[in-house]
Amino acid sequence: MKTAIDLNAPEMVTNRALLHWLSDIVELTKPADIRWCNGSQAEWYELTRQLIDQGVMTQLNPELRPDSFLVRSDPDDVARVEDRTFICSVNEADAGPTNNWRDPDQMIDKLRELFDGCMRGRTMYVVPFSMGPLGGPISQVGIQLTDSPYAVLNMRIMTRMGDDALRQIDDDTNWVPAVHSVGMPLIDAVGNTIDDVPWPCNTTKYICHFPESREIWSYGSGYGGNALLSKKCFALRIGSFMGKQEGWLAEHMLILKLTNPVGKVFHVAAAFPSACGKTNLAMITPTIPGWKAETIGDDIAWLRPGKGGRLFAINPEAGFFGVAPGTGYATNEVAMDTLWGNTIFTNVALTDDGDVWWEGMTDKAPDHLIDWRGDDWTPSSGRPAAHPNARFTVPVEQCPTLSDDWFESAGVPIDAIIFGGRRATNVPLVAEAFDWKHGVFLGATMSSEQTAAAEGTVGALRRDPFAMLPFCGYNMADYWGHWLSMGKSLGKNAPKIFQVNWFRKDDNGKFLWPGFGENSRVLEWICRRVEGTAKTYEAAIGIVPARGSFNLEGIEMPRGAMMKLFNVNPPSWLDECDQTEEFFSTFGDRLPVEMTKQLGALRRRLKKAA
């Protein structure tokens, strides 16, 4: 039976495909009401009041943290669910061995079964949003339908959301349709009322991407990237597929602006797997006198060839969705200063004076807290006060180091691309790729070493190519091929590519490099390489700093530390080549021939060096 509900579409909505899609989803999900979100401050106030009244949100002390809120999720809904995340390409081979694949027709049938009546008794929110500056040449638009006001509030922070984004969608606009439900209706199929809960979710969860139709369907979770479909789902999984079709790149990268003491500006993009210091680097405070670093993005970059044949990048997001634990004034002062207000905190602890706390925020924990589950907590409780994946959602524009370049609709020209992982051995502090093809090989072989027996064999490599393993929306081998093609089209205008490793250790297990602000010394060398002024020598694994060419002024390094930071051990590297060959073999005949050539060349250089 068809629903009689009015779509309530604003007059500006003329796109027939949009209205047809919305009508279909309304008929399927059967919401009690429809609300088009306009992104206004009044709407923010209304929805936050609503969630406070429902016991979902706690308003923090406005004198300590103005217009900020704490939310506690269901303990079974605290992170991305990678095992329930699917790429539903028409052909299974197009998803590749690193993705979970499902037949798109069968998955749509399953999803329509799950979504049938899933919004009974709830409001459907229509959330138009722009990824990137409104109308920009690299920007894209989408519409998320959701029954979660929590998701709406987070989308307002993380995207350019509301009427201005809706005006970007005319009859000829390509836009991404995204459907989300927590999967907990308030009225059952026969009309009985179901009691609501502070954090509705479902034990059944699906996060599905349909690359060919650019659709996103998410069911059962209200948390993070499972519910904020603009982020990993659109900006990376669907975005990467769009980029391959249209000749651009959607990457899990920070963007940083650097200015040297004489005023020359450089822009770098950098990809790091989790727990490798990406956010800290995006908000770095250089220790080298005269150098300035400004933040453009901390998580996602869209890169497209632009003026002069160079590669330009934007941060498509409007907010930071960061992991709170481990963030403190000792590790990331800029991030802490960003969180002064207008922030949604999820699964952190609540202090007795109405503020927030998490592990790593201060050296000493408060004597008493309410933990992320809502229970009393003291330092002797023997459990974390905040969930390890606790989050903050905060506007980018509050970042004290935000660059004016963030507002540039055409993006910024990228001078260097950096890849990094957490490696206790083998990988030097910094090395430059011999050329673009070698740089793609460095990105394709990115990995971190296992660091504890609980995670697996210590020293075994956890592969995360380009830091995109969970986020590439198509076959990873084809993705490497797309990068190779981009390099060919960019030619001499292509950015230089580098590999870094802040985490190399000595024989006693101590870090050889101090990291944090001192990483600016690595960035300085990279910038001097872009200029062509830094002296180098060729090692088997890449181009590294010549003795004395690395800026160590004002820093004390243990005797022999720099030599160990750049040591290349051919037998260890040859063993790693065998692991790389095994990894490459999983892609079969989709593997670009160039990757095999690069592996062979590396082996020859290592044997010559041995």
Q: What is the mean pLDDT of residues 357-374?
A: 97
Predicted local distance difference test score (pLDDT) of residue 374: 97
Q: pLDDT over 90 for what percent of the chain?
A: 91
Residue 109: pLDDT above 60?
Answer: yes
Residue 371: pLDDT above 50?
Answer: yes
E-strand stretches of 530-609: 536-539, 542-545
The 8 Å CB, 24+ separation contacts for 533-539 are 536/432, 538/434, 539/428, 539/431, 539/566, 539/568, 539/609
- Kindly report, residue by residue over 119-140, the tens digit of the pLDDT: 999 999 999 999 999 999 999 9
Please provide the DSSP assignment of 107-170 as one string. HHHHHHHHHTTTTTTSEEEEEEEEESSTT-TT-EEEEEEES-HHHHHHHHHHSEESHHHHTT--
Residue 249's φ and ψ, nearest 5 degrees, are -130, 135
Residue 455: pLDDT above 60?
Answer: no
- Kindly report, residue by residue over 168-197, the tens digit of the pLDDT: 999 889 999 999 999 999 999 999 999 999
Q: Kind and range of the H or E element at 70?
A: strand 69-71
In the chain, where the domains are located: 16-56+81-247, 250-317+406-609, 319-398
Predicted local distance difference test score (pLDDT) of residue 4: 56
Q: What is the mean pLDDT of residues 213-229?
A: 97
As given in the structure block, the two tokens for residue 586 are: 């999983």
Cα–Cα dist 526/416, whole Å: 8
Predicted local distance difference test score (pLDDT) of residue 2: 47
Q: Burial code of 222-247, b = ≥16 C-beta within 10 A, e = fewer?
A: bbbbbbbbbbbbbbbbbbbbbbbeee
Q: What is the mean pLDDT of residues 24-36?
A: 97
Catalytic residue numbers?
276
Predicted local distance difference test score (pLDDT) of residue 25: 98
Predicted local distance difference test score (pLDDT) of residue 5: 74
- Kindly report, residue by residue over 328-345, the tens digit of the pLDDT: 999 899 999 999 999 999
Distant-in-sequence, close-in-space partners of 100: CB < 8 Å, separation ≥ 6: 82, 83, 85, 86, 87
Q: How confident is the model at residue 456 (pLDDT cuts 50, 70, 90)?
A: very low
Residue 313: pLDDT above 70?
Answer: yes
**In CATH, what class is 319-398?**
mainly beta
Residue 544: pLDDT above 70?
Answer: yes
Report the mean per-residue pLDDT for the chain.
95
Q: How confident is the model at residue 451 (pLDDT cuts 50, 70, 90)?
A: very low
- 589 exposure class (CB count in 10 Å sphere: 0-12, 13-18, 19+): exposed
- Kindly report, residue by residue over 46-56, the tens digit of the pLDDT: 999 999 999 99
- The CB density around residue 349, as the number of other CB atoms within 10 Å, is 28
Predicted local distance difference test score (pLDDT) of residue 152: 98
Q: How confident is the model at residue 275 (pLDDT cuts 50, 70, 90)?
A: confident
Cα–Cα dist 117/187, whole Å: 9
More confident residue, 448 or 156: 156
Predicted local distance difference test score (pLDDT) of residue 450: 60
- Kindly report, residue by residue over 202-220, the tens digit of the pLDDT: 999 999 999 999 999 999 9
Predicted local distance difference test score (pLDDT) of residue 459: 56
Superfamily of domain 16-56+81-247: Phosphoenolpyruvate Carboxykinase, domain 1 (3.40.449.10)
Find out if CATH 1.10.287.90 is the number for domain 250-317+406-609.
no
The answer to whether the CB of 266 falls within 8 A of the CB of 260 is yes
Q: What is the mean pLDDT of residues 491-506?
A: 96
As given in the structure block, the two tokens for residue 606 are: 């290592």
- Kindly report, residue by residue over 548-578, the tens digit of the pLDDT: 899 999 999 988 999 999 999 999 999 999 9
